Amino acid sequence: MPNILPFRAVRPTRDKVSLIASRSYQSYTQAEREARLDNNPFSFLHIVNPGYKYHKEISGPERFQLVRNRYQEFKEDDIFIQDPKPYYYIYRIINREGEQFTGIIASASVEDYKSDCIKRHEDTISFREETFKDYLKTVGFNAEPVLLTHPENSVLAEIISEITKTRAEFEFTTTYRDTHYLWLLEDEAKIKSIQQEFSAMECLYIADGHHRSASSFLLGEELKNQNPKHTGKEAYNFFMTYIIPEKELRIHEFNRLVTDLNGLSKEEFLIQLDAKFRIENRGLEYFRPKKKHQFSMYLEGEFYSLQLRKSEYNFKDATSKLDAKILYETILNPILGIEDLRNDKRIDYSHGKNGMAYVKGKVDEGAFEIGFGMLPVNVEEMKQIADEGLTMPPKSTYIQPKLRSGVTIYEFQ
């Protein structure tokens, strides 16, 4: 029974939202970041990169405090304002490919995360959890919601359809050519209905934002233990989410790039590969996998199709059926010597929106020796892994939509 509540968001004023909204800091090249910081004094990047003001790289607790300072300055200058009462926020993105995503921005309970009522499918790294928890505690806000998903629900769909026929509070198009809309849902009857619909669900699933969820839970536990008057209703007991129906998720794969063949010649590598796969040389034909357990490989100017020999592979659970796991267990680890998928410098990743053309380009230019492509995970696979309490290998999914930071902000303090 997920406890999904409205909240009082801190938001940009209508005239400045398009200037403030930004992609995640890491998604910009250095040149793009500098251009925005130089030419747009309202960009949210000024808040998350406060050292730019001093022409200095700043990290750790010092950066956290400066982030808080910049955020407070935006509030003091009335660039950000807080809504007078709790709302649900209906958010829609129409991207440049014409795909549409519409869901509800709301607060979710850290207790639901703890009790597995909000299910997860990815491992988190303790160091990153603690670091982001400390960041949240210092800055006092979160500007990027966790992406949750739920089965199709006719009541929620009807409410959203009705609200989105009215004029949006925000409507802006980014230089990336995505158009964003935000509606405020303040009708008490509809708020109650939405809350009831979520509470009737068995669970929700995290699609994207596992570290943000884990860090919010850790912060909630820490502040609860420090508060002798804790009631469970404090803002730190919740975290900001964007909740959309499963059918609107777009899940892309991550393709793999490896710098070398681990000391093997091309012929030696292919011979070892033959034990687990049926190999077909596709030559210059641009090849993408067409079914599960089939892989695309690009090596020395040629594409190959690899079809798993199922008799030579043991399917044990939902994770073992994932193509990312199969690739690791049959090629990356035993043949190419990749052990740590997160930290090994010999492997890199490219999300499937770039396609195998990007992989081919990187191999052709000599940055990598070999590349692999696969089909994306589907929603049912993701849910099955979460239901079984399992986790996917790192970089198994690249999930859309990606929201802009700074459009709605959730304050913990």
Q: What is the pLDDT of residues 305-343, one digit of tens each?
A: 999 998 989 899 999 999 999 999 999 999 999 999 888
Q: Are 194 and 337 members of one domain?
A: no
Residue in the structure block whose two tokens are 């052709």: 364
Q: Is residue 156 included in any domain, yes or no?
A: yes
Cis peptide before 401 (omega within 30 of 0): yes
Q: Is residue 383 included in any domain, yes or no?
A: no
C-beta of residue 402 within 8 angstroms of C-beta of residue 279 = no
Q: Is residue 309 included in any domain, yes or no?
A: yes
Closest CA to 147 of 64, 18, 250: 250
Q: Are 129 and 180 members of one domain?
A: yes
Q: Are 179 and 283 members of one domain?
A: no
**Least confidently predicted of 25-34, 126-135, 354-363, 388-397:** 25-34
Which pTM does this prediction carry? 0.92
CATH number of the CATH domain containing 312: 3.30.1760
CB half-sphere exposure, 314, CA atoms < 13 A: 1
Q: Are 329 and 180 members of one domain?
A: no
Q: Is residue 394 included in any domain, yes or no?
A: no
Q: Are 63 and 107 members of one domain?
A: yes
Structural domain including 57 reads 4-250+400-411
- Provide the pLDDT confidence category of residue 53 given band limits of 50, 70 and 90: confident
- Say which DSSP state 366 is in: T
Q: Could you give the number of structural domains in the chain?
A: 2
Question: How, if at all, do strands 146-150 and 238-245 pair?
Answer: parallel
Q: Are 77 and 11 members of one domain?
A: yes
- Say what percent of the chain tops pLDDT 70: 100
C-beta of residue 30 within 8 angstroms of C-beta of residue 6 = no
Predicted local confidence at residue 275, as pLDDT: 95
Q: What does pLDDT average to over the chain?
A: 94
Q: Is residue 395 included in any domain, yes or no?
A: no
Q: Are 268 and 225 members of one domain?
A: no
Q: Are 291 and 225 members of one domain?
A: no
Q: Are 238 and 312 members of one domain?
A: no
Altogether, the residues listed in the chain come to a count of: 413
pLDDT in tens, 68-96: 999 999 999 999 999 999 999 999 999 98
CATH number of the CATH domain containing 92: 3.90.1530.10
Q: Is residue 389 included in any domain, yes or no?
A: no
Q: How far apart are CA 180 and CA 173, in angstroms?
A: 6
Number of other residues whose CB lies within 10 A of the CB of residue 286: 12
Q: Read off the amino acid at residue 74.
A: F
Q: Is residue 199 included in any domain, yes or no?
A: yes
